[in-house]
Structure formats: C-alpha cells, structure tokens
A and B are shown apart, each in its own frame.
Chain A
Amino acid sequence: ETGVTQTPRHLVMGMTNKKSLKCEQHLGHNAMYWYKQSAKKPLELMFVYNFKEQTENNSVPSRFSPECPNSSHLFLHLHTLQPEDSALYLCASSQDWDSNQPQHFGDGTRLSIL
C-alpha cells in the first residue's frame, strides 16, 4: 500500500463506548497529525507527533487520547464521546514537523456518536 491509510472508514458508537481509530503511513515520514473536520468549519488540528514525541495538543478534551508507537503508526483512542464529536477525523503525515513541508492526508474516519 502507498500513502496514508485510515481504518475504519466509518464508525458509529454510543456515548459510553470505547473505540480506537488507526492511521498508517507508507511515505517514510517522521511527523504525523490528527485533524477534525466538521461541516461548515475549517479543519482543526488536534495533535502533532514528531519522531513519536507529541509536540502539540490543541486543547483537545481528554476523552480523545492519541498514541504513536512508531513513526508509521498513529492511533486515536476514544471514550465517553459527546454528540458534538461527530465529524470526519483525518490523519496526515509530513517529512517532519518543519511546517513548510506539505502534509499528506488519509481519507478519514467518519465518526457518528449516537
């Protein structure tokens, strides 16, 4: 496989469930990102990892918990989510966190909270 792969593509969960989103990149990049995309709003940066170390946490609620075991894999653990968390969650990667590099995105996980 090439590029950035996200699984699952769709997820429906109740407010008390625990689930995880997975992202894998095959580009040899060192930085990985989680974004949230809601209707009528710009993409919102959630977390940044560079060489497996978290460098940014944009005041994201603790019900979202990221994990980066290596430079190729990124997870987003979800628990006790709220209806307003329903959105498209996008993973991206870039060569490193040096921000003049383009980021390459996966196709996202469409999350619906019941």
Chain B
Amino acid sequence: EDQVTQSPEALRLQEGESSSLNCSYTVSGLRGLFWYRQDPGKGPEFLFTLYSAGEEKEKERLKATLTKKESFLHITAPKPEDSATYLCAVSGGGADGLTFGKGTHLIIQP
C-alpha cells in the first residue's frame, strides 16, 4: 500500500525566511510524485511533477527535489501570498489515482 507522510503539519515563517517542506513516501514502483498548492475554499492547484530521483523543478520562489525516499519543497524568500496548504501525492504501480499526504499548512507573516 502506498503511503505519504508530510512534515511539518504546520509552519509559520516570517516574510523572506526560507525553509523546506518534507514529503516522505513508500510506493511500489514510483510513477510520479506531485506537489499541489491548496488555498482555503479552493481545490488543489498543480505545481510540479517529479519522476525520478535527482530530478528538480522550479517555479518562482518554489523548488521541488526528489530522492528515492522523499521529496522536498524548498521555498526561498517567501511572501505572504505563498501562504497555503501544500499537498504531496504519489502515483504507484498499482493504483489508478493518487495517494495524498495530509499536507503542510504554511503561513507567511509580513
């Protein structure tokens, strides 16, 4: 059974204070690891897909990296508008859908 664990559950940062969110996973044959952003009252918004260990993707202040056991979402010099819940999900060999973690609730204070 595929499993995803995200940490921390919540993170409060000052504007400009860089940090990283962690996503640890167990999957039988990783087909893809996905990062999403979810704002209150909205559905998850797709950010990145990572397919193999060593791969990195960047978008504005966000950078996602992948190893064989975990993924990190690095946020550099965050702004208040980066406040959201960040979700990690994996696609394994046996499932048709995605297995999600519980998310990290990120608050950036001005």
CB distance from B47 to the nearest CB of A (A): 9
- Number of interchain pairs (Cβ within 8 Å): 68
Assess the B43–A102 pair: CB atoms within 8 A.
no
Assess the B32–A42 pair: CB atoms within 8 A.
no
Complexed CA–CA distance, A71 and B44 (Å): 21
Point out residues on B near A: beta carbons under 8 Å: 4, 31-32, 34, 36, 41-46, 49, 51, 87, 89, 91-92, 95-103
Point out residues on A near B: beta carbons under 8 Å: 4, 6, 33, 35, 40-43, 45, 48, 50, 55-56, 58, 90, 92, 97, 99-108, 110
CB distance from A7 to the nearest CB of B (A): 13
Assess the A99–B45 pair: CB atoms within 8 A.
no
Complexed CA–CA distance, A35 and B100 (Å): 11
CB distance from B92 to the nearest CB of A (A): 8
Assess the A99–B91 pair: CB atoms within 8 A.
yes
The one of B46, B101, B102 that contacts A102, using a Cβ cutoff of 8 Å: B46
10 smallest CB-CB distances across A and B, nearest first, come from: A105-B43, A45-B97, A99-B91, A100-B32, A100-B31, A43-B100, A42-B100, A48-B96, A56-B96, A107-B43
Complexed CA–CA distance, A55 and B97 (Å): 10
Assess the A107–B96 pair: CB atoms within 8 A.
no
Assess the B44–A90 pair: CB atoms within 8 A.
yes
CB distance from A16 to the nearest CB of B (A): 28
CB distance from A103 to the nearest CB of B (A): 6
Indicate whether A99 sits within 8 Å of B43 (C-beta atoms), given known contacts A42-B4, A43-B87, A45-B97.
Answer: no
Complexed CA–CA distance, A55 and B94 (Å): 12
CB-CB under 8 A from B41, the residues of chain A are 107, 110
